[in-house]
Every structure is written in structure tokens, then in C-alpha cells.
Chains A and B, each alone.
Chain A
Amino acid sequence: MSQALSSEKPFQISISSFDLTLLRQKLELVRLAHEVDNAGWDYGVPLSEIKRLTAYWKDTFLPKWHEHEAKLNEDLGPQFTRDIEVDGGFGKINVHYVHRKSAVVDAVPLLFVHGWPGSVLEVKKILPLLVEESPDYPSFHVVAISLPGYGFSEAPQRKGFEAVQLAEVCNKLMLSLGYTEYVTQGGDVGSLVTRKIAQIYGPKHSKAWHTNSPIGEPPHPIKRPLLLLSHLLFSYSPSEKAGLERTMQFQKQGSGYFAQQSTQPQTLGYSLDDSPVGLLAWIYEKLVNWSDGYSWTDDEVLTWISVYWFSKSGPAASTRIYYELAQAYPEGIFSGVQTPIPVGHSYFPQDIFVVPRRWIRAANPTLVFESDHESGGHFAAHERPEELVSDLRKMFGKGGPCYGVVPGKTGYVVDVIKFGGRD
């Protein structure tokens, strides 16, 4: 069989001087919003935070961009781009990804999928841990994709590019890299995408999936009567109640971005593409509110924002997925969670959607792994990298419920003496 010419090209982040100059010029012209006295975080991101970050961006971070860029390229390791053809008239999309292989030949191929307002950066801390070789735990070959519309991937040009298309791109990417069978890890939008991958490409290609954004629907008299009975008869634990309260609070006070992005993303997009401080505030509010007291450094925040600011298609493109999902799933994205393959959950108490365990279990009949954490929020891979990787190691490691789920790729060095034969 002839080998089709792959369009894979090595990639390094290298922001043009035009883009850097434009950003500098815009930062020099920033006009800040006033604030009411003692606003705190009640009205949104405090002025003092934005003032500090904006000044730092202009005076320190941006002038040193090349250092940050170099570190980013170093931390992410080998990056590539590749054309992926998407069915349904979407044509070719040039996709950016990180691809790091473990020294362990039979490492478990793992696709990591970020969400919004995340990016491929979210793989940075877990990457070295995942590929690490050890007799005590499995290692992984890691592919971290920049979803179309994010980071250094192209964006779709046509309407209707939703979770199904994102799943298709991911699956095709893995296949093109020679990973016919693989597992996935995802949170936020990444959780939706990896769930779709599981439903469409599992168990043929996707063999198991893990998420740190587990969901389940509430009890319903007709749709989920047993759950309703349990809801009425047996009380929830204090932590479940706290989680529900946090979820309700988020719906009530923290979901304005969701309403806007699901209905009029283009309108919002004019601000996000034109104003660095507008984009900074829009994202920073989530970085703080959705994480568990994570001590973001200014460099971390601005690197994160920069991936959006310098993204190939601009920040506005990243918000369109909310609109497309609202169109494609009018009944909401919290239904139809079931998949035909094993799923593992990590529960972090300060995530934005934390619902009772029985709702989640009822919605996920193939749930084989659960791990509870005392702390941590939405951006698990960034906030709690060791814990997340530890969970993956338990799930996929020897004695774990998904050990050997990818045939021949257990994540360990094959013991030649034990098997007494040629390698």
C-alpha cells in the first residue's frame, strides 16, 4: 500500500513582529473602565487586577515575548501542523498539535483535548509526567490537539462545525499518526469532544475515555424516575450539596459569557479581537472563578491570553463552538452522555458543574473509574497535574480497570526475560 504524502510539518510558535507591534501599540492606547467603590469581584474582574496585568503586559511581558515564546516551545516539545479533511463540505483544516512519544515503545496512545478558555497549553504540566517511564505505572504517547478555531489551528469557515466535526478531526489526527486505537482525556469542551469521539469512534478506535468534567442529568419523573425516587428518599452528602450550590451559583452569576457566546458570538467577537484588555478580562475572570484558589502568576495569565490574542483565527473564532452546540443540541449538552466504552472520572470540588454522584453514575453506565479530590477546580491539568496523571495511571495501569484497553499498548516496557523469547 503506498504511503500517502502526509502534510505534517514541524511547527514552532513564532509570532510575527507585525503582530507584536500591533499589540504594543494597542496596549499603549488602553482606556480602562471605571469601577464602583469596594466592588471586589462582585461586578466582574476588579480594576486593580486589570490595571496591574495591563501595565505588566505592556512594560515587561510583551517586551520579553521572545523569551516566553522560546520557553513555550521548549515546554510543549515537538509541535506539528497537518491538514485534516473534514466531511460535509468543510474542506481541509490545518490543525496544530503537540506530539510527544514516550521512550516506552508500547506506551498507551493518549489524545488530550482542551476546552474554552483553555488551549493546548493545558497539557504543559502533565506532558512530562505522562510520558515518563517507570515499572510502577504506565506511560503514554501524548497527542494534544489545538481544536479548530483555537491556538495555532485554522478555524472552520462554514456554519455547523460542532462536536461531531471536532470529534472527526481528532479521530483522523490520531489515525494519521498511526494510532488506530487510543484513549482520550478531556475537560470542558474537551469533555464533550472526547465523549463524541467515544460515541462515534468507540470501541473501534477510542477504547476508553477519561474526563475531569463529569456530568449527569437531574432526576426526572418520566425520563429518570428511579433517580427521582432516590433523590426524594435519600439525602445528598454535605459535599454533594455544596457542589449543587456551587453549580447553581455558577448558572445564576457566572454564565453570562455562555449566554452571549451561545447566541451572538460575532457581536462579542469584535471586542475580543480588537481589545487586548477586553480579551484579558473576559478570560481572566474564568481563570480565577473556575479554579480553586490557584495562584496564577502574571506570566501564566498573559501567556494563556497571548495564545488567544495571537491565535491563527483570532479569539472570536474560539467562541463559535458555543453557538454551534446550542444549535445542534437544543435539548442541551448534558443529555446523551452514554458511551459504548469504559469511562473514568476525576472529581474536583471547585469545578463549575458539580452534581450529585448518583446523577453522574446514572448517566454513565460504563463508568469504571472514579477518583475524588479534596481540592482543585476546572482546569485540572493545570491546577493539579500530579493528581490528574496519578488518576490516569491508576485507571490504565496494572490492576486498573482499563489496563491493556489498547491491545499491545499497556504502557509498560515488555519484560523480555519473563516472556522468555525474542523481542
Chain B
Amino acid sequence: MSDAETPFSIAVPDDQLELLKQKLELTRFPDELEDAGRDYGAPLADIQRLTKYWKDVHLPKWREHEAKLNEELPQFTRDIEVDGFGTLNIHYVHQKSTVVDAVPLLFVHGWPGSFVEVRKILPLLVEASPDHPSFHVVAIGLPSYGFSQGPSKKGFKCEQYAEVSNKLMLSLGYNEYVTQGGDWGALITKRIAQLYGPKHSKAWHTNMPLAGPPQLTQSPLLFLSHHLFKYSPKERAGIDRTNWFEEKGSGYFKEQSTQPQTLGYSLADSPVGLLGWIYEKLVNWTDEYPWTEDEVLTWVSIYWFSRAGPAASIRIYYEILQGSLQGVSQNMATPIPLGHSYFPKEIAIHPRRWLKAANPTLIFESEHESGGHFAAYERPEALVGDLRKMFGRGGPAFGVVPGKTGF
């Protein structure tokens, strides 16, 4: 039986709004090369337009945006003890379905995302229907993100994020649950699967499927196949996209995983700096998603007004990956069923045969013709459609949480 929850409403103090206003008024923009396009980074015209809108429209109406978020997302906070790190006050969204035996689902965001990424899928997930399962949804605000407290000690790694997440679910009475995650959410839910599955985590789904390239000594047949048999045009495009990300799109990764504090001073002090830093990813990592100014600025505002400050959110790269992308695709195997959704504009896209070899418990796959990294936000119906197929009647993970089939 879970104890009572402490409701939470986003209510940014007036002095923070005032400080942001004053800073926006003093913005100093860089110049830009002629015809730079997006080649050199976020385009100046976009950033100027967004900054002006922020100052003149979005910020003056912040209380409306805040109210809308509070209305759409039932939020709470709870103290969670983390071994070696003391108590962290965790912010989360929690909405139960009207279906009593809905499937408990933990949604885990990444960077530069937040709990806000659950916004569109939430109503779809909890929706009751005879034709598809419904879910009780918990969307955690990871420590150091949004309105969750951040750790004050060094060394808060994947295990700790997994521990917080599992403890949160248990404290809400969800002794058995499933998970959905992308970006850091993918790595964290994988760790949850490894540490707490199958006892607590019963199945996991990700929209950022991962696998390392075949090694001759570890998977000789795959290695041979890699060199002998061609990849499909789609797979080639995926490889190209992955190469683009590593060669041109991962500078932020290198900095955040080696000198996050140095970068952090910029992100904490400059709203336009934070905006540029995040907006570049919102554009480059999505499949032409038509971001409105309000969407971008709400997203960035959650970082700007975050409890731990924007600098804290990037420390995860340092703590877990320490400068190398290699750690991302290692040690993939989990003891519980796994489902994948493939979106063509994801930033790391691996050939299907690598994914199958690295993930022996893969029982569900769904391919999409469009969509990118922020699947829950860009393609909510598609993502929820996949979860409904995976966990619904006749699906490979139906009834994976005993007694909670979603119907």
C-alpha cells in the first residue's frame, strides 16, 4: 500500500521571472557567417526570433503556460533515499487510468528532455478501451532535472538513477511494472531491467535501440555477415545518420562528459546560451518537427527554472560516460522482454541484425516511416500504438505484470 502523495504545482517565484526578464533585455547576440544555414550551429535568425518572443510574449504569459502544465500533468514530490547519497526530493507525474488493472508504466526522459515529454502520450496511455490496454503512468523527473533535487555528491551513476526510479515505483505501490524510455531513459531503463528485473521490472520498451558493432571475437558470424552481406538502403541511411551524429553532432557530448562545470556556467547564466544549446538538438534530432515558439520556450524554461539549475543536468554525461560514446552501446543484455520502436531520424541507428544479436530478449519491433529522437513528443500516437501492440491482447508482452493486463 503506498503512502499518501504530496501534490506539486509548478510555481516559479516572481524574482526568478524578473531576473530572466532582465537578462533577456540585456541579450548580446553573436554575428553569423553569410549563408551559414544550420552548418555552424543553431541559426542566428531562429535564435533572435525565439529570444524576442521569449521576452515579449512567452515570459509575460508564463503563468498561463505554468497553469496549463499543472492542469495537464498531475504532479507530486516524494523523498527517496539513495544509498550513499542521502535523501533526494523527486518530482514526478502520476496519473492512474480508470481501468483498475491498468499496466503500471514508468516513463523515463533524457537530455535535453524532461517530464514534459510525457505530455502528449499521457492521455493516450491512460485511456480506457476494450480494444487496447491502458496504463497507470508514472513519469519521473530524474534527479538534477526539472523540479527534482539533484545529488550533491560525486559519482551518481546509472545504478543510482535506476535505484531512484525503482524505489519511486515501489513507494507508489507498483511492485511490478514496465518501463518506456529514450535517450538517458533508454540507458536507465536498461539498468532497471538488469538490476530489478524480472522481480520488479517485467518488460521494457525503448525508442532508442542500441547495439555495438560486431566484434570478431565476440560474434564471429555477425562480424562475417557485416562484411559479406549488404545493408538495406534504410540501414545505410541509418548508418549515415549515426556517422553524422558522431562526426558533427556530438561536440556537446564531448564537453558535457569531460568538463560539464565549465559549460555549466554559460547555461546557468545566459538564457539565450541555454536556448541555443538546446534548440540545436530539438531541430537536428527530430524529423522536421514543427516546433512552435511556445513549445521550444516551455521546454527550455523547464531547464532555466529547474530546481538544480541547468548545469546539474549535464553532469550525468560525466558521471556515466566520462568522455566516450563507447559506453552507450555496451552491456545491452537484460533478463526481461524488450520492445523496440524504430524511428528513422533517431541519432543512433544500428542495423537490425546488430540489435537482435545484442538484445537476446527482444520480442517486439516496430518500424516507422518518420519520426526522430523525441518519439513521445513527435509521434505520440505511433509510440503509444506500439506500446498497445506490445502489451495488448495477442501481443508478446500481454499480461507480463500479473493481474494487470490493462483491460
Contact = CB atoms under 8 A, between A and B. Distances in A.
Contacts of B308: 34
B261 A265 contact: no
Interface in B234-265: 247-265
Contacts of B27: 274
A297 interface: no
B34 A159 contact: yes
Contacts of B23: 26, 29, 31
A237 to B, nearest CB: 28
Interface stretch (B4-12, B35-43, B55-63, B352-360): B35-43
Interface stretch (B94-102, B151-159, B218-226, B389-397): B151-159
B273 A159 contact: no
Given A254-B258, A264-B252, A270-B29, A33 B309 contact: yes
A105 interface: no
Nearest to A26: B26
A232 interface: no
Interface residues of A, number: 64
Interface string B196-230: 00000000000000000000000000000000000
B84 interface: no
B21 to A, nearest CB: 10
Interface in A130-161: 155-159
Given A29-B26, A267-B42, A260 B254 contact: yes
Contact of A46 (B251, B260, B261, B324): B261
Interface string B315-350: 100100001100000000000000000000000000
14 contacts: A29-B19, A37-B154, A43-B261, A43-B315, A44-B259, A45-B261, A155-B31, A256-B251, A256-B323, A259-B251, A266-B43, A268-B277, A269-B30, A274-B29
B249 A263 contact: yes
Interface of A: 22, 25-26, 29-39, 42-47, 50, 155-159, 252-275, 277-282, 285, 313-317, 320, 323
A323 B312 contact: no
Contacts of A320: 33, 40
Contacts of A26: 23, 26, 28
B252 A270 contact: no
Nearest to B251: A260
A258 B44 CA distance: 21
A38 B22 CA distance: 33
Residue from B250, B258, B308, B324 whose CB has the most chain A CB atoms within 10 Å: B258
Given A259-B250, A263-B251, A266-B41, A33 B34 contact: no
B267 interface: yes
Contacts of B276: 266-271
A35 B41 CA distance: 28
B381 interface: no
A275 B43 contact: no
A275 B265 contact: yes
B251 A45 contact: no
A271 B266 contact: yes
A158 B34 CA distance: 5
Given A36-B153, A39-B154, A260-B251, A265 B258 contact: no
B365 interface: no
Nearest to B273: A271
A45 B23 CA distance: 23
A266 B151 contact: no
B28 A274 contact: yes
B315 to A, nearest CB: 7
Q: Is the interface of A mostly helix, strand, loop or mixed?
A: helix
B309 A275 contact: no
B33 A275 contact: no
B171 interface: no
B240 to A, nearest CB: 16
Interface string B380-392: 0000000000000
A285 B40 contact: no
Nearest to A253: B258
B272 interface: yes
A32 B269 contact: yes
A159 B35 contact: yes
B32 interface: yes
Nearest to B252: A260
B334 to A, nearest CB: 29
Contacts of A278: 265-267, 269-270, 273
A36 B152 contact: yes
B266 A281 contact: yes
B47 interface: yes
Contacts of A280: 265
A279 B329 CA distance: 34
Contact of A256 (B19, B151, B257, B269): B257
B30 A252 contact: no
A269 B273 CA distance: 8
B30 A34 contact: no
B363 interface: no
B311 interface: yes
B280 A264 contact: yes
B31 A314 contact: yes
Contacts of A255: 254, 258
B298 to A, nearest CB: 19
B318 A273 contact: no
B251 A264 contact: yes
A79 to B, nearest CB: 23
A273 B153 contact: no
Contacts of B29: 270, 273-274
B259 to A, nearest CB: 4
A275 B273 contact: yes
Contact of A266 (B32, B263, B264, B274): B32
B260 to A, nearest CB: 5
A22 B26 contact: yes
Contacts of A30: 269
A270 B272 contact: yes
Sorted nearest first, the 5 A-B pairs with minimum C-beta distance are: A278-B266, A271-B273, A266-B41, A44-B261, A44-B262
Given A259-B251, A259-B254, A266 B265 contact: no
Nearest to A32: B268
Contacts of B400: none
Contact of A32 (B40, B249, B265): B265
Contacts of A33: 261, 264-265, 267-269, 309-312
Given A43-B259, A43-B261, A269-B41, A313 B31 contact: yes
A37 B280 CA distance: 31
B318 A43 contact: yes
A323 to B, nearest CB: 6
A33 B251 CA distance: 21
Contacts of B152: 36-37
B384 to A, nearest CB: 32
B257 to A, nearest CB: 7
Given A33-B265, A43-B260, A256-B256, A316 B251 contact: no
B193 interface: no
B242 to A, nearest CB: 15
B146 to A, nearest CB: 15
A263 B248 contact: yes
B51 to A, nearest CB: 9
A270 B32 CA distance: 10
